[in-house]
Amino acid sequence: MRPHAVAQPGSVDEVVAVVDDVTVRCVPTFLVHSVERPEPLEEILEQFAWRAQVVGHFELFWVPHTEVVLTKTNTRLRGDAVAQPLGVAGAFFEDRVIANTVFRLSCGISRLLPALTPGINRLLICRRHGGRPHWGKHHFLDAAAPAESYPRHADFVALRDRLDPDRMSTNPYLEKVLGR
């Protein structure tokens, strides 16, 4: 990969580049066996180095001040392994009922009754103490919040304005978090 950009050491320019050439390394076909589950924080902290080495991909999501983490373990299987799809009923339940309906309901309850949702309260506490939104994750904040949270946000927006004045590399999410 050859990024093309003029960067000044210590400047926000270091994080922006235009990629015009990419080499892709292909691997043989494989399946991924994914397991997502809640696990005790203490247990995960003790096993983290081992898990990160043993499985193909391991990640965890932790909300501060809680004792449980959501773990995700992805293990590569040979391409000729037998896939075990959820089936029509399982896929419907997973994709429609859990991912959409239950999640939408929990978000609605959180909006109406935030005291019943500790996770939302923790997010609010995090923001009160200087917590910042993650750029790589979709969040509900608009451009004003990152501008307050990131000291060089205005520098980054100015650089974007200079490098992409016609907004060729934008999308609705970037317009939301960076402004038009």
> Does some domain include residue 139?
yes
Q: Is residue 176 part of a domain?
A: yes
Residues 156 and 12 sit within 8 Å (Cβ to Cβ): yes
Model-level pTM greater than 0.85? no
- Residue-wise DSSP of 70-92: EEEEEEEEETTSPP---HHHHHH
> What does the pLDDT read at residue 13?
47
> pLDDT digit string (tens) for 66-122?
788 888 899 888 888 887 776 777 667 666 666 666 567 767 776 777 666 665 555
Rank 5-9, 118-122, 142-146, 159-163 by mean pLDDT and report only the highest.
159-163
In-domain check, residue 18: no
In a domain, 168, yes or no: yes
161: in domain: yes
- Let me know if residue 159 belongs to a domain: yes
pLDDT digits (tens, 9 = 90+) for 107-145: 777 677 766 666 555 555 566 556 676 665 666 677 777
Alpha helix (H) ranges present in the chain? 41-54, 87-92, 103-112, 118-128, 144-149, 153-163, 172-178
Domain around 170? 132-180
Pick the residue with more confidence: 47 or 8?
47
Count up the domains in the chain and report the number.
1
Q: How confident is the model at residue 42 (pLDDT cuts 50, 70, 90)?
A: very high
- Classify residue 48: in a domain, yes or no: no
Reduce the DSSP state of residue 129 to 3 states and report it.
coil
Calculate mean pLDDT across residues 53-75.
84
Q: Does residue 177 belong to any structural domain of this protein?
A: yes
